[in-house]
Structure 1
Amino acid sequence: MIEGILPSSVASVERRTDIDDLFPEEAELVARAVDKRRREFATARWCARKALADLGHPAVPILRGPKNEPLWPEGVVGALTHCDGYRAAAVARAAAVTSLGIDAEPHEELPPGTLKMIARPEEIPMLAALASQHPETHWDKVLFSAKESVYKVWFPLARRWLDFQDATLRFDPPAQTFDVELHQPGLVVGGEPLMRLSGRYAVGEGLVVTAVVIEG
């Protein structure tokens, strides 16, 4: 499912059942984790190794940085995601892709009170209009997932936090795309500040999946 919203420059692997296959260095990171956390951690990394193999990279441990971000082999950019019943990884050569972010969420409404924390004031009427036109879609969850993908593409470059309120999103349902306007400086690509991004989304099989890719 995630492959359908990613460019051909990105290799991706997804899985709906878990595999407990960890390098010793990875196992240390989740040695005290509950079983659910260990399984999602292990399966996402299994997906990452399969995706890396598509790029010609050998299997290596995927460790994590100080903000729990995955640490990729030199010359590779990537992202992981997991939710109930779904794990995925996407990777690309850094020569072709500057940064990428993916996210998957169950296709269901956000918990009560959550929307006001993630949506900017100008996004609320947009979501209401979308819900009226396409009531089969939980647009609050699409917004949440898309902003998660925005953060994942932002952090490896800016190396600091990006709040939900630091980006305004606009969706184009016929194209299944979204535009992103950043309100926080810090994203610099090719020596130039970048304040706008674009992404893609898909809804189906009980899931929302989103992706943001900065190519070039």
Structure 2
Amino acid sequence: MIERLLPAYVSCAATREVSVADGTLFPEEEALVARSVPKRRNDFATARACARRAMGGLGLEPVPVLHGKRGMPLWPDGIVGSLTHCEGYRAAALARAADVLSLGVDAEPHAPLPDGVEALVVRPAERERFAGEAGGIHWDRVLFSAKESVFKTWYPLTLTELDFSEADLTFRRADDRAADGTFTARLLRTDPAVPPVLEGRWRVEDGIVATAVLLRPDWREAGGPVQEP
């Protein structure tokens, strides 16, 4: 599913499995989840199993994937990537830094946001855009996922927080009845490392919302962000 949202030079791997066999973690990774509850360990391990499959797609040997602040995955030199996991879906997307400056992927269950969360995530202007646009799509959840992908693209370049209210998103469908399309994120907080507008893609399939944002290294020369199909 994630692979449909990103260009071919991004290596993607995903699974619906909720757990992996013991011994799939490197010792350095094992130390990070040694005291975690089983769900946290499974999320961590299955996402990293996907990461190693994605590494193979780039011709790389498997290596540990540790994390920095805000859970940011730490990739080998010359590699950028993003991980995501939710109930029933885990995925990894990796690319060479020569091709991609930063990218973010996110997956969520396709269901309304929990009570109280929408008010923290959805800006009034965004809510107005969704009015009358339901068509079987839980737009609040799509928006949440898209903003997560925006944050995952933003954070490695700035190492600063980006609040949900600091991005204003507009969505487009592939056609009037499609469960996929594109989105534009206008950033309300600026940083010289990131363009003021990011472009992304979204898709709803088999009960899962998936979103992706990709920023090319040449975005300044191109006059803005470049998002390829």
Q: Give the TM-score of the pair, scaled to structure 1.
A: 0.94
Percentage identity across paired residues of the two chains: 52
For residues 44-83 of structure 1, the aligned pairs below 5 Å read 44-83=47-86
- Distance in 2, matches of 1:81 and 1:158, equals 20
- The aligned counterpart of 1:209 is 210
Structure 2, gaps ≥5 residues long: 176-180, 218-229
- The aligned counterpart of 1:35 is 38
The answer to which of 205-214 and 60-69 deviates more is: 60-69
Query: Are 1:113 and 2:116 counterparts?
Result: yes
Question: Which among 170, 187, 192 is matched to residue 182 of structure 1?
Answer: 187
Query: Are 1:102 and 2:111 counterparts?
Result: no
Q: Structure 1 counterpart of 2:190, which letter?
A: P
- Distance in 1, matches of 2:106 and 2:131, equals 23
The RMSD of aligned alpha carbons is 1.1
Q: Give the TM-score of the pair, scaled to structure 2.
A: 0.89
- The aligned counterpart of 1:16 is 16
- Distance in 2, matches of 1:108 and 1:66, equals 29
Question: Which among 85, 88, 91 is matched to residue 91 of structure 2?
Answer: 88
Query: Are 1:153 and 2:153 counterparts?
Result: yes
Does the residue aligned with 1:188 lie in a helix, a strand or coil?
A: coil
- The aligned counterpart of 1:196 is 197
Does the residue aligned with 1:130 lie in a helix, a strand or coil?
A: coil
- Closer, same or farther in 2 for the Cα pair 1:71/1:53, shift >3 Å? same
Structure 1, gaps ≥5 residues long: none
- Distance in 1, matches of 2:163 and 2:206, equals 29
Does the residue aligned with 1:184 lie in a helix, a strand or coil?
A: coil
- Distance in 2, matches of 1:173 and 1:210, equals 13
- Distance in 1, matches of 2:69 and 2:122, equals 27
- The aligned counterpart of 2:168 is 168
Q: Structure 1 counterpart of 2:6, which letter?
A: L
- Distance in 2, matches of 1:61 and 1:168, equals 35
- Distance in 2, matches of 1:116 and 1:88, equals 28
